[in-house]
Amino acid sequence: MLSMCVMSFIIDPDFLGQLMRLQSAHSADISAIAMAFFVFTLCLLLANFQCRKEQRACIKMCVRLGYSQAKTFRQIQEAWGDDALGRTQVRYWHQRFSDDPAGDVGDKKHTG
Protein backbone atom coordinates (compact mmCIF):
# COMPACT_ATOMS: atom_id res chain seq x y z
CA MET A 1 0.00 0.00 0.00
CA LEU A 2 1.34 3.43 -0.91
CA SER A 3 1.71 5.97 1.83
CA MET A 4 -0.72 8.84 2.26
CA CYS A 5 1.90 11.33 1.04
CA VAL A 6 2.61 9.39 -2.12
CA MET A 7 -1.08 8.86 -2.84
CA SER A 8 -1.68 12.60 -2.57
CA PHE A 9 0.97 13.29 -5.22
CA ILE A 10 -0.45 13.44 -8.74
CA ILE A 11 0.77 10.47 -10.81
CA ASP A 12 -0.76 9.32 -14.09
CA PRO A 13 -3.33 6.78 -12.84
CA ASP A 14 -2.54 4.41 -15.69
CA PHE A 15 1.23 4.63 -15.22
CA LEU A 16 1.56 1.40 -13.28
CA GLY A 17 -0.66 -0.41 -15.76
CA GLN A 18 1.48 0.82 -18.63
CA LEU A 19 4.62 -0.28 -16.80
CA MET A 20 3.20 -3.76 -16.19
CA ARG A 21 2.16 -4.14 -19.85
CA LEU A 22 5.59 -2.98 -20.97
CA GLN A 23 7.25 -5.40 -18.60
CA SER A 24 5.18 -8.35 -19.75
CA ALA A 25 5.57 -7.67 -23.48
CA HIS A 26 7.91 -10.14 -25.17
CA SER A 27 9.63 -7.41 -27.18
CA ALA A 28 9.99 -5.01 -24.24
CA ASP A 29 13.06 -2.85 -24.33
CA ILE A 30 14.95 -3.11 -21.03
CA SER A 31 16.05 0.53 -21.24
CA ALA A 32 12.40 1.64 -21.55
CA ILE A 33 11.50 -0.39 -18.46
CA ALA A 34 14.46 1.07 -16.56
CA MET A 35 13.47 4.62 -17.59
CA ALA A 36 9.85 4.06 -16.54
CA PHE A 37 11.01 2.72 -13.18
CA PHE A 38 13.32 5.74 -12.77
CA VAL A 39 10.47 8.17 -13.48
CA PHE A 40 8.18 6.36 -11.02
CA THR A 41 10.89 6.41 -8.33
CA LEU A 42 11.48 10.12 -8.94
CA CYS A 43 7.75 10.77 -8.50
CA LEU A 44 7.80 8.92 -5.18
CA LEU A 45 10.79 10.95 -3.97
CA LEU A 46 9.13 14.23 -4.94
CA ALA A 47 5.97 13.19 -3.13
CA ASN A 48 7.96 12.36 0.00
CA PHE A 49 9.73 15.76 -0.13
CA GLN A 50 6.41 17.57 -0.49
CA CYS A 51 4.97 15.65 2.47
CA ARG A 52 7.93 16.57 4.71
CA LYS A 53 7.61 20.22 3.68
CA GLU A 54 3.90 20.21 4.59
CA GLN A 55 4.73 18.75 8.01
CA ARG A 56 7.35 21.45 8.58
CA ALA A 57 4.74 24.11 7.81
CA CYS A 58 2.47 22.53 10.44
CA ILE A 59 5.32 22.46 12.95
CA LYS A 60 5.87 26.16 12.28
CA MET A 61 2.17 26.80 12.94
CA CYS A 62 2.34 24.82 16.20
CA VAL A 63 5.32 26.92 17.32
CA ARG A 64 3.36 30.11 16.60
CA LEU A 65 0.44 28.71 18.62
CA GLY A 66 2.79 28.08 21.55
CA TYR A 67 2.62 24.27 21.49
CA SER A 68 5.40 22.37 23.22
CA GLN A 69 7.67 20.02 21.27
CA ALA A 70 5.84 17.01 22.73
CA LYS A 71 2.39 18.33 21.81
CA THR A 72 3.62 19.25 18.31
CA PHE A 73 4.97 15.73 17.84
CA ARG A 74 1.64 14.23 18.92
CA GLN A 75 -0.23 16.50 16.49
CA ILE A 76 2.06 15.50 13.60
CA GLN A 77 1.71 11.81 14.49
CA GLU A 78 -2.06 12.08 14.65
CA ALA A 79 -2.28 13.85 11.30
CA TRP A 80 0.25 11.80 9.30
CA GLY A 81 0.34 8.45 11.09
CA ASP A 82 3.08 6.19 9.68
CA ASP A 83 4.28 8.97 7.37
CA ALA A 84 4.97 11.38 10.24
CA LEU A 85 8.42 12.82 10.82
CA GLY A 86 10.32 11.21 13.67
CA ARG A 87 10.56 12.71 17.13
CA THR A 88 14.11 13.97 16.51
CA GLN A 89 13.12 15.74 13.28
CA VAL A 90 10.07 17.34 14.90
CA ARG A 91 12.26 18.49 17.81
CA TYR A 92 14.84 19.94 15.36
CA TRP A 93 12.28 21.86 13.31
CA HIS A 94 10.40 23.03 16.43
CA GLN A 95 13.64 24.47 17.83
CA ARG A 96 14.56 26.00 14.48
CA PHE A 97 11.20 27.79 14.17
CA SER A 98 11.35 28.84 17.84
CA ASP A 99 14.72 30.49 17.21
CA ASP A 100 13.65 32.05 13.89
CA PRO A 101 9.84 32.41 13.63
CA ALA A 102 10.13 33.79 10.10
CA GLY A 103 12.30 30.84 9.01
CA ASP A 104 11.77 28.94 5.77
CA VAL A 105 10.28 25.41 5.83
CA GLY A 106 12.81 24.25 3.21
CA ASP A 107 16.06 22.44 3.81
CA LYS A 108 19.29 24.30 4.50
CA LYS A 109 21.28 25.32 1.46
CA HIS A 110 24.28 23.04 0.93
CA THR A 111 27.49 24.18 -0.67
CA GLY A 112 29.40 22.05 -3.13
Local mean pLDDT, 10-residue blocks, the chain (112 residues): 44 58 58 68 72 89 92 91 91 92 65 55
103 residue type, one letter: G
Residue 23 near residue 33, CB atoms below 8 Å: yes
Can you give the pLDDT at residue 28? Answer: 54
Residue 72 near residue 94, CB atoms below 8 Å: yes
Residue 92 near residue 56, CB atoms below 8 Å: no
d(CA 1, CA 92): 29
Write down the domain spans for the chain: 4-99
> Is 0.85 topped by the overall pTM?
no
